[in-house]
Chain A
């Protein structure tokens, strides 16, 4: 589904060049559960941003669902993000003046989906996250774990093919972090590709495919045979 070949990303800071990605080749199949680990500054976030079409590589090509998306326009990129890609961030990025339900509704609103069609989907998504009675709470009234689950509900409401999570447990304690991982893994079960960037080896090693980056390069990429681990929770 995702084909990156020879991706380079260079940042210019003053007259210095930071080579954030060097000749990265990577392909991710539909429904694959991937973790990316590596030291700070190794290019994990940069790679994820390019996969998510938030950033453009300086060279190399990116094929998504068999089509070259490297040179699409800003608007086409936006529409592709809307329809095919979901993001989960370390700092949740919920809109603080909107309720949980409104936050989840946001992508459908941006996509121009009918209000009547939106409501049941929001309800269903919140229910799937165990947040049905938090629908009308503002983010500040929710715990960190609950916030991240709202963010996941929002990221998946458009049923994207791939979910990109950049340190989704970075701001959470262990228990709610594991909660969030359980939710992500349940998405994998339903056939969604999930890419998790993490510093936590326990979390990273749960993924079937584990990528290690150093200094802008992919230094190891191994796929284990399932089942590697028991599900975190019963269901």
Chain B
């Protein structure tokens, strides 16, 4: 029998049984679409986080207060530790380490920013002048924070583009005084549009000197210290030195965590990959379910078409041919279903892209290939049993049924 004829015969059968076909197409399509959409989400999240962190630069260490790991089981595990504050002096001590090129202490809070009658609640970041170089941000207008002694609370601020627009509209902002919380600051610069950066909307924030931020937010502790080493090779040396230096300053207690940007990236990469594989796995269960549905429906089809199978045998079709006919029918259904599912998945991915434009949603190629492969494989696998049943049917008995 010619392949074209086998296909035509199968298409004919499939078309002749609308309800059954639509049902099976949907089952397959939903499975494939689920794999496509869910892996696209996982992959999108991974890419998003990765790109955010790569923007940080490759030889960066981040110091945060408190220990994030407990080595082994010891009394320290059961002692409720309140970590010592991380201070501006701590940050300045780090600058004296040989491997360190730049540091930027960071304080984060939120306050009302107002100019004339306009007021807005925005994130306030306290840092120093070196932040600009560490993060490689660019200015739209004016200057970044001046390179003064970080312990001096200068009354200057740098606005994000959106904040500037909302407070000043078309008026010039440079040199104007704005009120942040209960203090007045002079606008010395406006940040360029760098978009989002590790969860911060650069457009929608105000930056002030770190000492001013401590006074304004009434907190003596730093949120983070960003440390840039002279080279990538010196990262681990610098990491050791930082831990030692801070331990010496904190009465010998190691109460800070130093993480390398690379390590964070690698961890996130791992987490999101694991996540993507997991959702792919869960979604492919629905493919297996669809496969079982195909088997079920094909078994029903075989028993409904007993007389036809008997006839085909009487007309001279050997077992092999009947096997091929029924298999190709199952395959056709799963291929159509997978195609339909890909379209459905693409539609879903497109929709997510519309809702979350920042998320680079795109299904990974391996997931698309695997989804289609599993769908077709399931069709084939679960089609074998019904097809064999059809092929082995006794011709005389099959014909005696109507």
Closest to A94 in B: B311
| A49: interface (CB < 8 Å) | yes
| A219: interface (CB < 8 Å) | no
B-side interface mostly? helix
| B71: interface (CB < 8 Å) | no
How far apart are the CA atoms of A74 and B313 in the complex, in Å? 10
| B5: interface (CB < 8 Å) | yes
Known contacts A75-B320, A97-B13, A98-B12; A109/B396 CB under 8 A: no
Known contacts A97-B16, A98-B12, A109-B5; A78/B402 CB under 8 A: no
- Within A85-109, the residues touching B (CB, 8 Å) are 87, 89, 91, 93, 95, 97-98, 106-107, 109
A54 neighbours in B (Cβ, 8 Å): 313-314, 395-396, 399
B261 neighbours in A (Cβ, 8 Å): none
B395 neighbours in A (Cβ, 8 Å): 54-55
**Binary flags per residue of B337-372, CB closer than 8 Å to A gives 1, else 0:** 000000000000000000000000000000000000
Evaluate contact between B396 and A78: CB separation under 8 angstroms: no
| B174: interface (CB < 8 Å) | no
B1, B4, B308, B399: the one within 8 Å of A110 (CB): B1
What's the interface size class on B, roughly? 20 to 34
B1, B2, B16, B396: the one within 8 Å of A55 (CB): B396
Evaluate contact between A93 and B399: CB separation under 8 angstroms: yes
| A32: interface (CB < 8 Å) | no
How far apart are the CA atoms of A154 and B311 in the complex, in Å? 11
| A83: interface (CB < 8 Å) | yes
| B319: interface (CB < 8 Å) | yes
Evaluate contact between A95 and B311: CB separation under 8 angstroms: yes
- Within B202-219, the residues touching A (CB, 8 Å) are none
Closest to B315 in A: A107
Known contacts A97-B13, A98-B12; A75/B319 CB under 8 A: yes
Evaluate contact between A74 and B316: CB separation under 8 angstroms: no
How far apart are the CA atoms of A40 and B12 in the complex, in Å? 39
Evaluate contact between A93 and B311: CB separation under 8 angstroms: yes
How far apart are the CA atoms of A78 and B314 in the complex, in Å? 8
| B321: interface (CB < 8 Å) | yes
Number of interface residues of A (CB under 8 A): 28
Evaluate contact between A49 and B396: CB separation under 8 angstroms: yes
A111 neighbours in B (Cβ, 8 Å): 1, 316
A112 neighbours in B (Cβ, 8 Å): 1-2, 5
A49 neighbours in B (Cβ, 8 Å): 396
How far apart are the CA atoms of A112 and B4 in the complex, in Å? 10
**Binary flags per residue of B361-402, CB closer than 8 Å to A gives 1, else 0:** 000000000000000000000000000000000011001001
Known contacts A49-B396, A78-B316, A78-B318; A109/B307 CB under 8 A: no
A91, A95, A110: the one within 8 Å of B321 (CB): A110
Q: How far is the CB of B195 from chain A (nearest CB, A)?
A: 59
Count chain A CB atoms within 10 A of each CB in B2, B9, B316, B396 and give the residue with the most.
B316
Closest to B311 in A: A93
**Binary flags per residue of A59-74, CB closer than 8 Å to B gives 1, else 0:** 0000000000000001
B396 neighbours in A (Cβ, 8 Å): 49, 54-55
A74, A79, A107: the one within 8 Å of B319 (CB): A74
How far apart are the CA atoms of A112 and B319 in the complex, in Å? 15
A80 neighbours in B (Cβ, 8 Å): 316
- Within B300-329, the residues touching A (CB, 8 Å) are 307-308, 310-321
How far apart are the CA atoms of A93 and B314 in the complex, in Å? 10
Q: How far is the CB of A12 from chain B (nearest CB, A)?
A: 14
Evaluate contact between A74 and B1: CB separation under 8 angstroms: no
Q: How far is the CB of A163 from chain B (nearest CB, A)?
A: 12
- Within A106-152, the residues touching B (CB, 8 Å) are 106-107, 109-112, 115
How far apart are the CA atoms of A82 and B314 in the complex, in Å? 8
Evaluate contact between B311 and A81: CB separation under 8 angstroms: no
A82, A89, A97: the one within 8 Å of B316 (CB): A82
**Binary flags per residue of A182-210, CB closer than 8 Å to B gives 1, else 0:** 00000000000000000000000000000
A87 neighbours in B (Cβ, 8 Å): 314-315
Known contacts A93-B399, A95-B308, A98-B12; A106/B1 CB under 8 A: no
B4 neighbours in A (Cβ, 8 Å): 115
Q: How far is the CB of A115 from chain B (nearest CB, A)?
A: 8
A81, A91, A97, A106: the one within 8 Å of B402 (CB): A91
Evaluate contact between A110 and B314: CB separation under 8 angstroms: no
Evaluate contact between A109 and B9: CB separation under 8 angstroms: yes
- Within B1-51, the residues touching A (CB, 8 Å) are 1-2, 4-5, 9, 12-13, 16
> Can you name 6 A-B residue pairings with CB atoms under 8 Å?
A49-B396, A78-B313, A83-B316, A93-B307, A97-B16, A109-B1
> Which of A's residues lie within 8 Å of B, judged by CB?
49, 52, 54-55, 74-75, 78-83, 87, 89, 91, 93, 95, 97-98, 106-107, 109-112, 115, 154, 158
Q: 3 closest Cβ contacts across the A-B interface?
A: A82-B316, A97-B16, A78-B318
